[in-house]
Amino acid sequence: MALTHYIRQTLHPYYNVRNHLIITLFFLVITIPGFTQLSGHSAVPKDWHLRDPQEDSLQGVSVEKAYATILKDQPSRTVVVAIIDSGVDIEHEDLKDVIWTNTDEIEGNGIDDDHNGYIDDVHGWNFIGGKDGNVNQDTDELTREYIRLKKKFDGVDEKKISKKDKSEFDEYQRVKTKFEKLVTRNTEQFELYNNLYENVQVSIDTLKTLLEVDKLTPEAVEKFTTSEPSLLFAKGFVLNIFRNIGPETDIDEFLDEVKSAADHFNQIISYGYNEDFNPREIIGDNYSDPYEKGYGNNDVKGPDAMHGTHVAGIVAANRKNNIGVKGIADNVKIMSVRAVPNGDERDKDVANAIRYAADNGAHIINMSFGKSISPQKEVVDKAVKYAESKGVLLIHAAGNDSDDIDKEKNFPTRYFDDGSESKYWMEIGASSWGTDKDFVGSFSNYGKKSVDLFAPGVRIYSTTPENNYKDLDGTSMASPVATGVAALVMSYFPELSALEVKDILRRSTRKFDNLMITRPGGDDEVKFSDLSSTGGLINAYEALKMAKELRSKKIVK
């Protein structure tokens, strides 16, 4: 979810225009959703990820083609998809008709009618809430580890460390170094973006007032003449943005993106890496017990459901109401399981969320979240194995750090500490709409061993709270695309097991012969086929065709 993964800027020093100091802006390059990556592609349709490569010249997953051909007039069964996320706006106009309901629970009576340990869990459960409210922001897992280890080792003479504690002490040194470095880096980033925001805002407001317009255009700004130094700066500053990003740029939208970046880094330093911040008391659980159950509340939306609502819409936004957007699967019920704050999710909550989904009939669990440290990994591993025993398919976003996760840690993961791995797990990278060097999202993690396949994850338009819609980028968006395709196959071919569906999704991917792409996080070129174990892009039409063939073979037998 972090904007860190989407925004890369190269800025040279500049000074505050409000103080009328000398300004030097050498070069400005902004790479943010809706701008640089989309340059020259303003005509790309909002539903591009549903389109077909041959018919539409867009690298979508051929969903609309599938509905018009293979699935036309075919029966289907309802598939339950659990969205473990920040929460889902279950009253959204495009989601309210596809929300899962626990028919064994009587809403609002304050009784655990179905005796599952959760009172009034009518549409799911919230593991990061309590009787007095909900967690919104939370700390980074690195911060929590730093606090834990600091209590034990801060000020301790290394020479007095026992052999038993030596490895943990070394870990403390590593965590401390990383923590302090990240605090410094993110503080600098906040100051950078905040200063940029203030300068852009003052420049825009000044020019709008002088030109008496509501919207700035390059032509209007170019014609503006003045000899006042501060106004000359405002003119040059705004023109420089237009020149580097494109004359069609919506300058107000650009300003909003810069503000979002400043807010993001402010949240990191105020909450993520704040040693004194601890929201866990709101929940009221015994945090030291990783196997505790029954805590939380039934507020499945929570205070900030943008991410989870967007994810849910990609999977199953109502395809029949002629408003908003179309989800991928047309016969799905969305179960909202809230476990992801603005910050790092906690292993205990993730484990309980997985178990809750598995116990309450989820066929698929979508997990668009992740982190680099998992101190209670054992409890998550056990929950994954439990979901496996129930035949649940788990689909996880590969992450947005431009990393090779064959080498870098990324949790939760299919790999267990005993050396085995989950057969019911899929890891998804993010792709874009064209077959050029930018085909893979520049933010996307990848891995020849660890990532199964890629799915659309750049400029995905979907539902957001309060009946709104928005474009978002990330493997967080690619994962529900894959989840939607999996749900589609399960819905129309109920004879197939979760493992058979996984196998079909992998074998039916579209391949791109010798396609060279820019390596995420670098500037060298690599083969797209080397970034995942299948080397392909998910395709609903081909997956359904393969499922139909497999069903025919089963009938013959």
3-state secondary structure 283-308: CCCCCCCCCCCCCCECCCCCCCCHHH
17 shares its domain with 154 = yes
The predicted model gives 224-235 an average pLDDT of 91
- Phi and psi of 82, rounded to 5°? -90, 130
CATH number where 283 lies? 3.40.50.200
Domain identity same for 149 and 133: no
Domain that holds residue 267: 3-32+142-272
Q: In the predicted model, what is the mean pLDDT of residues 523-530?
A: 96
pLDDT of residue 554: 76
Whether the per-residue pLDDT at 506 is higher than 50: the answer is yes
Distance CA 419, CA 443 (A): 29
Assess whether pLDDT exceeds 80 at residue 555.
no
The predicted structure's pLDDT at residue 11: 28
Asked if 542 and 510 touch (Cβ cutoff 8 Å), the reply is: yes
Residue finishing a domain among 247, 272, 297: 272
What whole-number distance in Å separates Cα of residue 413 and Cα of residue 396? Answer: 8
> Listing from the earlier edge strand, what are the strands of the sheet with 425-431?
124-126, 332-338, 79-85, 364-367, 393-397, 425-431, 453-456
- Whole-number pLDDT of residue 41: 47
At 138-171, the pLDDT tens digits run 999 999 999 999 999 999 999 999 999 999 999 9
What lies within 8 Å, CB to CB, of 46 at 6+ separation is 325, 461, 471
The pTM assigned to this predicted structure is 0.89
- Give the percent of the chain with pLDDT over 70: 92
- 478-507 burial, b if ≥16 CB within 10 A, otherwise e? bbbbbbbbbbbbbbbbeebebebbbebbbe
Q: Is residue 15 part of a domain?
A: yes
* Tally of CA atoms within 13 A in the half-sphere of 434 that contains its CB: 12
Please tell me the distance from the alpha carbon of residue 458 to that of residue 300, in angstroms, as a whole number: 27
Q: Is the pLDDT of residue 214 over 60?
A: yes
Residue 106 covered by a domain: yes
Mean pLDDT for the stretch of residues 198-217: 94
On whether both 115 and 184 belong to a single domain, the answer is no
Q: Return d(Cα 201, Cα 241) in angstroms, integer.
A: 12
Residue written as token pair 């580890």: 145
Give me the residue label for tokens 């080498």.
Answer: 407
Within a domain: 190: yes
| Each residue's pLDDT tens digit, 442-483 | 999 999 999 999 999 999 999 999 999 999 999 999 999 999
pLDDT band at residue 557 under the 50/70/90 scheme: low
* Rounded average pLDDT over 313-336: 98
Which tokens belong to 541?
A: 């039409």
d(CA 502, CA 436): 28
Token pair 């039916």 is found at 508
* Mean pLDDT, residues 189-208 taken together: 93
Contact between 195 and 19 under an 8 Å Cβ cutoff? The reply is no
1 has a pLDDT exceeding 50: no
Mean pLDDT over 173-195 rounds to 95
Summarize pLDDT for 15-33 with one digit per residue, the tens: 232 232 223 333 333 333 3
pLDDT, residue 556, reads 65
* pLDDT tens column, 478-504: 999 999 999 999 999 999 999 999 999
Cβ atoms of residues 393 and 501 within 8 Å: yes
416 and 308 in a single domain? The answer is yes
- 120 & 21 share domain: no
In a domain, 89, yes or no: yes
Do 170 and 162 contact (CB within 8 A), yes or no? no
Position 215 scores a pLDDT of 93
**In degrees rounded to 5, what are phi and psi of residue 141?**
-60, -35
Q: Domain count of the chain?
A: 2
397 located within any domain: yes
Give me the pLDDT at residue 32, please: 36
Q: Is residue 42 part of a domain?
A: no
Give the rounded distance of the alpha carbon of 226 from its chain centre. Answer: 46
**What SS3 class is residue 170?**
helix
Reply yes or no on whether the pLDDT at 184 is more than 70. Answer: yes
Average pLDDT over every residue of 530-548:
98
Rounded to an integer, the average pLDDT of 172-201 is 94
Q: Are 258 and 324 found together in one domain?
A: no
Q: Give the 3-state secondary structure of residue 431.
A: strand
Whether residue 383 sits in one domain with residue 459: yes
One domain, residues 366 and 220: no
Do 146 and 135 fall within a single domain?
no
With b meaning 16 or more CB within 10 Å and e meaning fewer, what string describes 343-362? bbbbbbbbbbbbbbbbebeb
Q: For residues 463 and 308, what is the distance between their CA atoms, to the nearest angstrom?
A: 9
Task: Look at residue 173 and tell me whether its pLDDT is greater than 50.
Answer: yes
User: What confidence category does residue 218 fall into, taking pLDDT thresholds of 50, 70 and 90?
Assistant: very high
- Choosing from 272, 300, 318, the residue where a domain stops is 272
Please report, rounded to a whole number, the percentage of residues in the chain having pLDDT higher than 90.
85
**Does residue 78 lie within any of the structural domains?**
yes
* Mean pLDDT along residues 530-541: 98
Query: Do residue 150 and residue 120 come from a single domain?
Result: no
pLDDT band at 13 (very low <50, low <70, confident <90, very high): very low
Q: Which tokens sit at 167?
A: 């490895």
Both tokens of 341, joined, read 């704050």
Q: Which of 220, 237, 272 is the last residue of a domain?
A: 272
Task: Note the pLDDT of residue 22.
Answer: 26
Report whether 11 contacts 192 (CB < 8 A): yes
Q: Which residue has the higher pLDDT, 30 or 525?
A: 525
- For 330-388, list the strands marked E by DSSP: 332-338, 364-367
Q: In which element (H, E) is residue 253 found?
A: helix 251-267
pLDDT of 97-109, one tens digit each? 999 999 999 999 9
Contact criterion met (CB below 8 Å) for 461 and 301: no
Residue from 444, 438, 430, 445 nearest 479 by CA:
430
Mean pLDDT of the chain: 91
Residue with tokens 């998550």, as numbered in its chain: 380
Residues 6+ apart with CB under 8 A from 494: 77
pLDDT of residue 42: 55
Q: Do 448 and 493 share a domain, yes or no?
A: yes
Note whether 113 and 248 are same-domain residues.
no
pLDDT of residue 19: 30
User: Mean pLDDT throughout 248-256?
Assistant: 87
Strand 393-397 with 364-367, pairing: parallel
- Examine residue 40 and state whether it is found in any structural domain, yes or no: no
How many Cβ atoms sit within 10 Å of the Cβ of residue 208? 16
